[in-house]
Amino acid sequence: MQFLFNMLFKIYKRLYKAYGPQKWWPVTSKNKQFEVIIGAILTQNTSWKNVEKAIANLKKAGLIKAEKIKAVNVKKLAKLIKPSGYFNQKAERLKTAAGFFLENKTPSRQELLDIKGIGPETADSILLYALGRPFFVIDMYTKRIMSRIGLCDNKAGYDELQQMFHAQLPKDAEMFNEYHALLVELAKQHCMKKPSCNGCPVAGLCSQKI
């Protein structure tokens, strides 16, 4: 639909003008790809600040490498990533992912989804941010913003919302990267659980009066 296409581009342009390029995913080591994979797994059910602490511990221990994660004792790994929460579970997931990526350099989305503990959001974060492939990441921020603007129902599922972006926008990994990061920034500054609409760059496009 032309309306959806126009709206999605307007939102993107306004956010880009307001916030500028976000240069996601934030990494601190030379092994960018695997650090992104680690971050995508650790960020499940926690804040990014907690993930940063866990990654700093891994970096200090010299473990931002798939072969190192695979070889390290799981209890030691769990202790290092404790700031991210659910650390025993996530340690197992990291070791499983490390073994997988040592053997699979260009996995399909379905292959990622077949890994225990990796759901659609984590898989698409890995595909987009680590592997540079055009899969739009849908998270709670994206759903909140799009439902408030009026482009989806607040009960819309992951696949339904992702398909809206995929059907309307060019399959461009760089754009998807920036767009998702800009939505996260909007959610941090204005579109929180309790929204702060004053000064919001997309307030004029929002159909919900709050």
Lookup: tokens for 138? 């849908």
Q: Which residues of 66-81 are buried (b: 16+ CB within 10 A; e: fewer)?
A: bebbbebeeeebbebb
Q: Which CATH architecture has domain 2-23+136-205?
A: Orthogonal Bundle (1.10)
Give the Cα separation of 87 and 75 in Å (integer): 9
Residue 28: what pLDDT?
87
Q: What angle do CA 65, 45, 77 make, to 5 degrees?
A: 35
The CATH number of 32-130, from 3.40.50.150, 3.40.50.2020, 1.10.340.30, 3.20.20.70, is 1.10.340.30
pLDDT number for residue 208:
65
Give the chain's residues under pLDDT 50: none
Give me the pLDDT at residue 207, please. 76
pLDDT of residue 99: 97
| Domain coordinates in residue numbering, the chain | 2-23+136-205, 32-130
As given in the structure block, the two tokens for residue 95 are 């070791």
Contacts of 8 (CB under 8 A, 6+ apart): 151, 164, 165, 168, 169
Task: Give dist(CA 110, CA 114) in Å, integer.
Answer: 6
pLDDT of residue 160: 96
What pLDDT does residue 155 have? 87
